[in-house]
Amino acid sequence: MRSSEVDYVFPSTPGKIKIERAHKVNRQFHRCLGIFASTSSTMFFWVLFVIVLTASYISFVNSGSRCFSSPASVYDGVEWQKRVRTSAQIHRSNGLSVLVTGAAGFVGTHVSIALKRRGDGVVGLDNFNNYYDPSLKKARKALLNSNGIFVVEGDINDARILAKLFDIVAFTHVMHLAAQAGVRYAIQNPHSYVHSNIAGLVTLLEASKSADPQPAFVWASSSSVYGLNTKVPFSESDRTDRPASLYAATKKAGEEITHTYNHIYGLSITGLRFFTVYGPWGRPDMAYFSFTRNILQGKPITVYRGKNGVDLARDFTYIDDIVKGCLGSLDTSGKSTGSGGKKRGSAPYRIFNLGNTSPVTVPTLVSILEKHLKAEAKKNIVEMPGNGDVPFTHANVSLARKEIGYKPTTDLETGLKKFVRWYLSYYGYNQDKPV
């Protein structure tokens, strides 16, 4: 992989790659040193030595500062700390103070605003990577700012920024929504899943377990962990050891990793298995979003079909229902029991399905969109490629209903109508913004 490709793939990669590059510069320098030592005068050599050493140092320093999304000095500024503290302030009795990772993402934006509106303190963290159009993330950030939420631009792999945030604010909860999403993209860029969903998760758990007081930790797992499971509807106690994609495997790994932090350090953990979440301010890489764009532009859409001509189906879940599930989880999470890296007693470890409980086929999704958009789709129906997709999902949410009062209320028809209204108001009929 060329270094420019590395930069593209990992917008705020840990320093190893860049530091190696600096070492390479130093190695080349030493090679030159040998040649010059044998052929030049001592004076010329030392002048050259100082010039090259300075250049090498500047190159190293620059490469080091690019390792993180922002230089540390930004985080240390008095003004910056004030913004973090103000954003984290609680404005209701028994309110929460929540660090929301992936705050400029789809679910992160909605959850952050819902928390803020009921008087909780919220600080967002997002690396604004370019998996999909960053201008949509910037627009969400503007929306968050107008709701009094400060979003720190930083990566969950950056232990320094996490330590700084926990230093400034005694967060009661972490709502961890930052992730490399998308089931099929894992074929193209497998390492981005390991980077965000495993390495990033561990870095955030390390910061959380070291924080005093320890926050309760609620995070986004995925319906994809059910993989090749054929028993329906999917219940939390069903098999999850046959993932169909690397995305699913990293989410399943996350469930195991969080369990160890619960077991060793007493972190209160709640994992939420989201079922194909959709709605306003959604993700452009998802089918309902890209289908809308293509239908409006008169471009064809590809509709996958399962074996023997069976339609694929998803338990599409509207964002407002997911937000209620997230808030219900935060409110009932129970306390972490550790401090200073030591556990003082057992803490809750929970996993819940957050789905809609009524799967809809992909062709039905398309017809609902056609109706709301008043336009016909040019459908290109192809057999589902073997790229990590599963034929159907269907959630049993009895456990979430019992434990956190979760009760989905929005059907796909109603939810897509709201999505289309937002889409047209955001992009316009002429779609003059990038998607």
Catalytic residues: 247
Q: Pick from 275, 352, 406, 419 the residue near ligand UGB by CB under 6 A.
A: 275
Nearer to ligand UGB by Cβ, of 69 and 196: the residue is: 196
| Interface with ligand UGB, residue 274, by CB under 6 A | yes
Q: Pick from 164, 314, 372, 394 the residue near ligand UGB by CB under 6 A.
A: 314
Q: Count, in order, helices (H) and strands (E) of the chain.
A: 16, 13
Nearer to ligand UGB by Cβ, of 88 and 390: the residue is: 390
Nearer to ligand UGB by Cβ, of 269 and 365: the residue is: 365
| Interface with ligand UGB, residue 186, by CB under 6 A | no
| Interface with ligand UGB, residue 353, by CB under 6 A | no
**Do strands 300-305 and 216-222 pair parallel, antiparallel, or not at all (unpaired)?**
unpaired
Instruction: Kindly state the tokens that stand for 188.
Output: 């193209």
| Interface with ligand UGB, residue 303, by CB under 6 A | yes
Peptide bond into 233 cis (omega under 30): yes
Nearer to ligand UGB by Cβ, of 327 and 366: the residue is: 366
Q: Could you tell me the sign of the dihedral formed by the alpha carbons of 55, 11, 302, 414, in that order?
A: negative
| Interface with ligand UGB, residue 322, by CB under 6 A | no
Query: How far is residue 261 from each of residues 199, 201, 379, measured CA to CA in Å?
Result: 14, 11, 47
Residues 47-76 that bind ligand UGB (CB under 6 A): none
Neighbours of 167 (CB within 10 A): 12
Nearer to ligand UGB by Cβ, of 124 and 182: the residue is: 182
| Interface with ligand UGB, residue 217, by CB under 6 A | no
Q: Could you tell me the sign of the dihedral formed by the alpha carbons of 221, 227, 233, 236, in that order?
A: negative
Shortest Å, Cβ 351 to ligand UGB: 13
| Interface with ligand UGB, residue 389, by CB under 6 A | yes
Going along 267-399, which residue ranges are E strands? 269-274, 277-278, 300-305, 313-314, 317-318, 349-354, 360-361, 378-383
* Angle value at C-alpha 354, between 328 and 119, nearest 5 degrees: 25
Q: Pick from 144, 183, 216, 404 the residue near ligand UGB by CB under 6 A.
A: 183
Shortest Å, Cβ 175 to ligand UGB: 16
Q: Pick from 29, 49, 80, 304 the residue near ligand UGB by CB under 6 A.
A: 304
Q: Could you tell me the sign of the dihedral formed by the alpha carbons of 187, 191, 196, 202, in that order?
A: positive
Within 92-155, residue ranges assigned H as helices are 106-117, 134-146
Q: Pick from 12, 129, 208, 223 the residue near ligand UGB by CB under 6 A.
A: 223
* Angle value at C-alpha 158, between 154 and 164, nearest 5 degrees: 80
| 323 class by beta-carbon count within 10 Å (0-12 exposed, 13-18 middle, 19+ buried) | buried
Nearer to ligand UGB by Cβ, of 87 and 250: the residue is: 250
| Interface with ligand UGB, residue 182, by CB under 6 A | yes
| Interface with ligand UGB, residue 176, by CB under 6 A | no
Distance CA 281, CA 136 (A): 8
Distance CA 248, CA 225 (A): 5
Q: Pick from 287, 322, 347, 420 the residue near ligand UGB by CB under 6 A.
A: 287
Nearer to ligand UGB by Cβ, of 85 and 379: the residue is: 379
Contacts with ligand UGB, residue ranges (CB under 6 A):
181-183, 222-224, 274-276, 286-287, 302-304, 312, 314, 362, 389
